[in-house]
Structure formats: structure tokens, C-alpha cells
Structure 1
């Protein structure tokens, strides 16, 4: 795996963890951008949206459009990945805490 792919997979995990920590399992793209920045990722909105669509294709999240904004909601499969009870290829594996 090259470094760019490692970054993408790690960024997907960061977003998935942030969604998992929410009471309603949802965050909008603006908040997810801030989450990525706390992990040192300074990416464009287009990059974020592409990664969210990949995660939707992998079954980790559901996406909703509200006007011009996207909101992501973690799925049961995405929660299982964060909890380490299942694996979604294409998203970095969470470390044991």
C-alpha cells in the first residue's frame, strides 16, 4: 500500500470513529473536515466527499443531502468495524485501546 492509500484509509477510520462517538451517529461534512484537521489532515471538501462516497459503497456509512451539504450516518457494519467485531477492507483497522 502506498502512502496516499494509507492516508485515505486512516482518514476514513478517523471519520468513522467520530461518527461512532455521536449520540445520533451522524455528523455533517463541515464537522468531519474539522475532525480530519485534528488528526493533521488538511484536505479539500472534494476529497472528503469522495472518501464519504467510498465509505458508503463499502457499507460503513449512509449519506444524506441537506441542500448543498452532506451528512453521514454510521451503519451497523461501520460500528462493527470501530468496535473490532468485523472488518471492512478499505478502512484502516482500529488499534486496541
Structure 2
């Protein structure tokens, strides 16, 4: 098993927070400004560019789609992203959700 850096652990956790946030929306979507605020709630005090990078990584992994509204990214969760959040499958590069209590 490869040892991950703190930065990679942090990014993987942030990606899970993003997916959980998207899965909690009625339409499965949130813009990057709201996602930045959500991440801050969970201790990820990062720039909007960093949040965009995480959205792009999630897109690359097939967990989200991205639409652009002017200069703002809007992330939408995919079936693969939802399956990861619901512990039905695993997406490498995203922290694994803990079991529901």
C-alpha cells in the first residue's frame, strides 16, 4: 500500500465532502462558491481555484459533471458519485465514507 501525503489525504477527504454535499441536494448540484463554504465548514479552508481543481479531479474520476455558468463551475453528482457516497462502490482518489451510525 502506498503512503499518501497529508495533502493527498486532505484532497481525498475534500472530494468526499463535495460528493456528500452534492448528494444532499434535491437536484444533486451546487456551485463552486457554495462548495467552498461547505468545505470550510469541514475544516478545508482553501481557495476557489483549489475547489475547482477538486471538481475537475472528480470529473476525471467520473463522479461529477461540470457545467459553466459564466465564470462559475456547477458540479452535478453522477450515478458513480452517488454510489460511492452510498457505499455501493469505491472510487479511488476519494476518501471512503464511514458507515452510517
Establish whether TM, by shorter chain, passes 0.5: yes
SS in 1 for 2:25: coil
State the match for 2:26 in structure 1: 23
Alpha-carbon deviation of 1:2? 1.1
| Large movers: runs of 4+ above 4 Å | none
Partner Cα separation in structure 1 for residue 5 and residue 71 of structure 2: 33
**TM-score relative to the length of structure 1:** 0.99
Structure 2 residue corresponding to 1:61, chosen from 60, 64, 69: 64
Q: CA RMSD in A?
A: 0.4
Structure 1 residue corresponding to 2:92, chosen from 53, 77, 89: 89
**TM-score relative to the length of structure 2:** 0.95
The answer on 1:2 being equivalent to 2:5 is yes
